[in-house]
Structure 1
Amino acid sequence: MKAPMKEGSNREKQKPGQNRSMCPVFGRCGGCQLLGMSYEEQLAWKKEELKKLLKGLCPVEGILGMKDPFHYRNKVHAVFDRDRKGNIISGIYQESTHKVVHVEQCLIEDEKADEIIGTVRGLLKSFKIRVYDEDTQFGLMRHVLVRRAFATGEIMVVLVTASPVFPSKNNFVKALREAHPEITTVVQNINGRGTSMVLGDKEHVLYGKGYIEDVLCGCRFRISSKSFYQVNPVQTEVLYGKAMEYAGLTGTETVVDAYCGIGTIGLIAAGNAGRVIGVELNPDAVRDAIHNAKLNQMKNARFYCNDAGRFLTEMAASGDKVDVVLMDPPRSGSTEEFMRAVAKTGAGKVIYISCNPETLARDLKFMKRLGYRAVKGVGVDMFGMTKHCEVCVKLERGR
């Protein structure tokens, strides 16, 4: 959704004393496009935008907002650089650039994560560790990623280095843990590629078990450095609760969780379904999903590493029955091939979770051509202060 105002717009129209005065980098980082609005105004704007985008495609029930729209991000990533004086800075790239905006405290990031990143920044100076320079491709420390489990309090710190050689790494980790004893695991991820990708393929566990665990909707999940896990756990429970309400499971259905990741929504559904089949292309995510099924003693859930569209096509060809399809595609939306495969299964219900209402609108038009009608939808505000909004839509197959 397009933000209603950009930096440089007529500021006289905004009320004084609102959120943006709380952020020293507002307008430079590009992250919180709606910071100039009160939270109530943000929700009203998102609701109207949803209604416009989905007009004639899906009735919108409303938007479910947060009780506290600040410090909700349980996954925080920072990139390192140096300022003009040579001081180590950390933060995020300025929008559409590779210029780092120094951020010490962010209104939407977990406060403990920001503290840990500040400590890492100080330790880099103390241990005389060079930060990575994208232009020269020299230096060691590229990024730091902090993930905090909301329910368990477990914290993972991922130190992303350009080389596997990490001088004084044991002492570095010891100093970090002494400053933050709440850290439960530290991982070194090696990214030697000359690209802007954050994580590399190889990693070593420097402390702890190499992953954290969190509880969501009564299920326990293992989260590794590369796992996709929603960044706002409180609102994720709201979102998945609405998805389960729309699915209306009775305990007998065959449910396919497409784009299943580490199995979150599929395993939440498994408690009220006959069987759940999760499909995901990322092999690391599938391994985590299989582990999570065992962790939750869900014997009626199976996970497969495959293309979801191809998998559904094969299910349909074999005559395997599918009652409900849960789909949570990336921002680019689904594909026509996948949606055709859904139609081939004859699934009576499709629950579409979208992080991009614009591609959702496109996909709903295509699903309508395939005989599926969007019965209702609801927005769930997962990302306060930003223009982004999740949407959950219930589709039913025409008779």
Structure 2
Amino acid sequence: MQKNDFIELVIEDISTEGAGIGKYDGMTFFIKDAIIGDRILAKIIKLKKTYGYARLMEIKEASPYRVEPRCIYARSCGGCQIQEMDYQSQLEFKQRKVRGNLIRLGGFKESEIDQLMEPIVGMDYPFAYRNKAQFPVGVNAKGEIVTGFYAGRTHTIIANTNCALGAAVNEKILQNVLTYMKETNTSAYDEKTGKGLVRHILIRYGFDSKEIMVCLIINGRKLPSADVLVGKLCTINGMKSISINRNQEKTNVILGNETTTIWGEPTITDTLYLRNTEDFSRLEEHTSYQISPQSFYQVNPVQTEKLYSLALAYAGLTGKETVWDLYCGIGTISLFLARHAKQVYGVEIIPQAIEDARKNARLNHISNTVFFVGKAEEVLPAFYEKEKTASDVNADMCHPDVIVVDPPRKGCDEKCLATMLKMQPEKIVYVSCDSATLARDLKVLCAGGYEVKRVRAVDQFGMTVHVESVVLMQYCGK
């Protein structure tokens, strides 16, 4: 075998990144856009010692799990990796992904994980669920201004204003922004030269409030003829906030540090409801949040309600507990917990997020929360070392009843994990967006005296390979 050879094989599995996995002549191949059960013709594009990569050329016999994708750009766009797989098969894949990582990377026994894992929480309708989208702006081969999403593993824009995963109102907003740019000769940013003005269009939509935010990220200080843009966007029902964010750095980071509201309010408001974790029906208890362009707020509000309700149920609060919420963002989980705890302490690295968390506490008339700015791996150890030797030591803060963590994809820092073990809470509730780093961190916590009691995956990102998980750990002693 060599590069550019054609091979015929059957797809037997899917990688954690969503590529089909098949074997040919004893070698494992990864083929994007192929799903389990497909018999395909593929072209070898790269060979390693024991595995290779190939490009799907023809589907000889379609898998029984293959469906027609809703979006015509599903194969070329980098946003959806598994839209061509039926939804039930997607859920099964994600359950296996979490299970496999816990066994392979966490060192758990298969029989143990099979007892601990509960059924994955799927979506009733796995489309049009995103309340936030960031659309890059550029120029196509004809010199026309376009917006859409990047093709997989590239920065080539697939022109598309009607994403199947986004809110329906996005299309009208994008069309209005493009029309404004053409009418006012406002340029699109060019990544290669670093010139041009409009880099991205950020849209947030409140599924409960129906409020809309639009933020243009620009490579400059001022947006020309801003009144024209405002006039077009204000015709859309629910528009509440229009702003510009300045990012003049030559970087892949989307948002800069400076945002100016040019019309309306600097935030929109949305509400999340507590759910019954038996059937996930909505309950009356709810929490509202003010959301800015920079705020971290889960993109799938329906599933977020289920995820946070599970985290609260796992914490088992009675109203007497002290809780730390690490990587707390704008206080989404903290405020869910605060209604059922004696005191909640939140930690987040982004100052604006902590400011938003404090505002959100006041918005909901919640007074039993305290929020700290800083890295969890720095704030928690420094606080613990200081307080444990203080004459007026706060024992509840040093030895909380529950610690909740919801870290970024890289997982928890080693120092943070070490301090959690020193604090020795009765329970740790770990919310994770990456089951690989989750498995790694659970291994550390288990070595420190904790046992995993419950695990449940939640599908926050239908049509993609990503999956959230929530885990309950209990201290059992070394």
TM-score of the superposition, structure 1-length normalised? 0.96
Residue 446 of structure 2 is matched in structure 1 by 368
Amino acid at match of 2:309: G
CA distance in 2, matches of 1:344, 1:309: 13
Amino acid at match of 1:113: N
136-145 or 376-385, which deviates more: 136-145
Asked if 1:395 is matched to 2:462, the reply is no
Asked if 1:259 is matched to 2:308, the reply is no
Q: Is the 8 A contact 2:324 2:404 kept in 1?
A: yes
Secondary structure class of the residue paired with 1:54: helix
CA distance in 1, matches of 2:304, 2:135: 23
**One of 216, 225, 229 as aligned partner of 1:172:** 229
Residue 121 of structure 1 is matched in structure 2 by 178
Q: Is the 8 A contact 2:407 2:432 kept in 1?
A: yes
How far did residue 314 of structure 1 move? Answer: 4.2
Secondary structure class of the residue paired with 1:186: strand
Residue 272 of structure 2 is matched in structure 1 by 216
Asked if 1:100 is matched to 2:157, the reply is yes
Deviation per CA, 1:163-193, whole angstroms, max 9, x where unpaired?
Answer: 1122111122112213x14211101111111
Secondary structure class of the residue paired with 2:295: coil
CA distance in 2, matches of 1:125, 1:258: 45
134-143 or 238-247, which deviates more: 134-143
Amino acid at match of 1:32: C
CA distance in 2, matches of 1:134, 1:323: 49
Asked if 1:85 is matched to 2:142, the reply is yes
**One of 252, 256, 262 as aligned partner of 1:200:** 256
Q: CA RMSD in A?
A: 1.5
**One of 143, 166, 169 as aligned partner of 2:200:** 143
Highest relative contact order (Cα 8 Å, sep 6+), 1 or 2?
1
CA distance in 2, matches of 1:175, 1:44: 44
Asked if 1:290 is matched to 2:358, the reply is yes
| Residues 1-399 of structure 1: pairs in structure 2 closer than 5 A | 1-5=16-20, 6-7=32-33, 8-9=55-56, 11=59, 12-15=61-64, 18-20=67-69, 22-55=70-103, 56=108, 58=113, 59-178=116-235, 180-217=236-273, 218-317=286-385, 318-319=387-388, 320-321=395-396, 322-399=400-477
Q: Is the 8 A contact 1:259 1:329 kept in 2?
A: yes
Amino acid at match of 1:214: D
Deviation per CA, 1:10-58, whole angstroms, max 9, x where unpaired?
Answer: 63333497242x2221221122111111111111111122222223264
- Identity of paired residues, percent? 37
Q: Is the 8 A contact 1:315 1:345 kept in 2?
A: no
Amino acid at match of 1:14: S
Q: Is the 8 A contact 2:377 2:414 kept in 1?
A: no
Structure 2: state its 5+ residue gaps.
1-15, 21-31, 34-54, 274-285, 389-394
Deviation per CA, 1:238-279, whole angstroms, max 9, x where unpaired?
Answer: 000111110000000000000000001011100000000001
8-17 or 109-118, which deviates more: 8-17
Deviation per CA, 1:296-337, whole angstroms, max 9, x where unpaired?
Answer: 111111111123233333454424321100100001111111
1:106–1:14 Cα change, 3 Å: farther
Amino acid at match of 2:252: S
Secondary structure class of the residue paired with 2:466: coil
CA distance in 2, matches of 1:26, 1:395: 38
309-318 or 366-375, which deviates more: 309-318
228-237 or 333-342, which deviates more: 333-342
CA distance in 2, matches of 1:249, 1:76: 35
CA distance in 1, matches of 2:472, 2:340: 18
Amino acid at match of 1:350: I
Q: Is the 8 A contact 1:14 1:36 kept in 2?
A: no
CA distance in 2, matches of 1:19, 1:241: 34
Runs of 4+ more than 6 Å apart: none
CA distance in 2, matches of 1:17, 1:361: 30
CA distance in 2, matches of 1:121, 1:28: 22
How far did residue 114 of structure 1 move? Answer: 2.7
Structure 1: state its 5+ residue gaps.
none
Q: Is the 8 A contact 2:338 2:368 kept in 1?
A: yes
Amino acid at match of 1:337: K
Secondary structure class of the residue paired with 2:234: helix
1:244–1:19 Cα change, 3 Å: farther
CA distance in 2, matches of 1:149, 1:312: 33
Q: Is the 8 A contact 1:76 1:114 kept in 2?
A: no
How far did residue 104 of structure 1 move? Answer: 2.2
How far did residue 356 of structure 1 move? Answer: 0.4
Deviation per CA, 1:120-155, whole angstroms, max 9, x where unpaired?
Answer: 112211221111111222211111000001111110
Secondary structure class of the residue paired with 1:156: strand
Q: Is the 8 A contact 1:266 1:278 kept in 2?
A: yes
TM-score of the superposition, structure 2-length normalised? 0.80
Amino acid at match of 2:63: Q
How far did residue 95 of structure 1 move? Answer: 2.0
How far did residue 115 of structure 1 move? Answer: 2.3
